[in-house]
Structure 1
Amino acid sequence: MNMSGLFSALILLIIQGALAQRVRVDQEVVSYPGQTVTMRCQFPNPGGTQLTQVSWIFERTDAERTNIAVFHPNFGVNYPDRSPVAGRVRFITDPPTLENPSIQITDVKMTDEGRYICEYATYPSGNEQGVSSLVMLAKPKNTASTVTVAASETPVVVARCESSNGRPAATISWSTSLNGNVTTPIKTENPDNTVSIQSAYMLAPQPSDNGKDISCVVTHRTMTQPETFPMKLVVEYPPRVKIVGYENNWYRGQTSAYLTCQADGNPNPTTVTWKTLSGLMPETVQVQDTRLAVQKVDDVINTTFICEVKNSLGYGKDQVTIFVREPIQGPATGAIIAGILCVIILLALIATAIVIVRKRQRKNIDGPPTHKPPPPMKTYSYSERPSISKPVNDPQFMDYETEKAEPMTNLSAYHDDKDHHEPSRYSWEDKQTSYQDEDEGRMMGDEDDYYVTSSASRGSSFMSPAVVV
């Protein structure tokens, strides 16, 4: 029995669903405030079903239903005065028909959003209906701004973003590299049925966060693309101060030394004050706003300089202690390095030149000779040599070569193949006279001391004998 009951109920639901589909309506109608919308309704091909009356019902919520338009073929048209759309609703055709009882609503408002039911009273099946949803769209007004905050360790709201009077509610997101948090969006239902959304970004602001980028991104159904609001954070903090220009390298006699007071703050610093720990500023020091110019470094510069910077939130300061050193002896490090490099380059050039010269010499030695040999020399035999007198038993007298080569040709004649002049010769007497002048009485020519190596006559031999001294 239970299974039979469930089966019957299922069949009934299918039949009712099929009957409900006989009333044709638009499932969703979208409109903007101030426009005119059409709510369509038809009952095509009723067949054996008798249509007796059609009614339009506005359902804002499940618990609130109101008739806004009624048509009966015999009693005509009726528009209830208490309906939310009274005076703005009418049937499209006049007079209307049961087959096509569509309606129009002019000057629609955000409060007109809801479900519109086209209901037929029929016989014998009873009431049949179709439901259309009117969706009202309202483009929201979007804004975003940063909040000026003071640097702190406690998270505070640093930026806000709002999408007001939109329908449906907009979606807000944030784009930033900051390490903060997004608050839970606050949704507000407005009396005109629009929705406002508020979102905030929280951060424990630090001085380094000042000026960083943050963007609010709003997405809504009425916009073809998201709307982005780029911003920069505003974080206020007292001045941060640092003195630069001294790196423990000032020496006695140095000129044009400087100290610079670097400071940043928000709001911008208003005053910069230079002081010394001793209270007296050396006469050789000039104060030039954020810079301290030292005309000449001497022992009085051995002190502590203080730079103090103020803005509306407070002040910051930094100090540096100067130790004057003795003058640097010798060339500067840069000059030393340059000199070393020059020496290295010079040595490299010299080594390269030596290598090139040696290669050329080796090539000349190993290769074929590039000059012609000296001319052949003729030797004298013992019998052909002119005789000279020699003192008897003279120990100072030295024996010379037994044979003396005589050149067959002179050098110029030898090297020039086209020149056929007779080569020059000199006589034995000339040689004897020369030796006598040079040795002051020393005489040549001991016939007994000559060792004859060859008896070849002039032109018979071209071999040069060994020389014995």
Structure 2
Amino acid sequence: METGGTSTFILLQWIYITLLSVIKAQEVKVWPEVTGYLGHDVTLHCEFIQGPQVANITQVQWALLQPNGKENVIIVYNTILGPSIHKPYVEEKVGIEGLSLIIKDVNMTDAGLYRCSISAFPSGAFEGTTKLIVKEQMPLSVGVIAAVVIIVMLMLLIIAATTYLIFIKRCDSSVNLIHTDTNGPVTDVARPSVIKTEQDVVYSEVTTKPSRGETASSRYKHSKTEDITYSEVIFLRQQQ
């Protein structure tokens, strides 16, 4: 009899240790805090962490905790019976996806503590609590911020290009055309910072230099001082 009692005790102890290790390994994992925004949908995540022994989930329940500790059951999902939404909630307001609760068109009254309860066989019941915080305005996402930065950079690039073109145009407008007429071919020269001036200039007391073979009589004829008029003389003045 003692041997039988000892064997039974050892067997129970082994079962207890085995179940304890399984129960400790299995748990419900939820986010401690979730932020929702007015007019948007929010998902309260719930996950069942399996242990060494796989347990079958039979039912999932979501409830809103009241300040007095009571639970307002929102939705129950049974693997056999399917989902059941409790009043005053409706299908257009709440739903379940996997083990997570979806709240649609969030408003300020949706804020509070939510509890996810899971029944699993043969492990038993597990639960986790998450807090929903509701805010009015949704912050800008990383994609939106990146798009704004790219737009600003493009605008700065366009402004810089426009400024450069205006600067080049002004530089081109400061280049004047020089025209020199020496009774020969016309030469056009583009030179910056040059002012074209066309006027008639009268030179007085100009003495001509005698050329080779010129006789004394002809030299005497030109020895007199006379006025010579030159036309189309171009003055070049460097612009200050």
**If each structure's helix is expressed as a fraction of its own residues, which one has the higher value?**
2
With normalisation by structure 2, the TM-score equals 0.49
**If each structure's strand is expressed as a fraction of its own residues, which one has the higher value?**
2
Work out which structure has the larger RCO, using CA pairs closer than 8 Å and 6 or more positions apart in sequence: 2
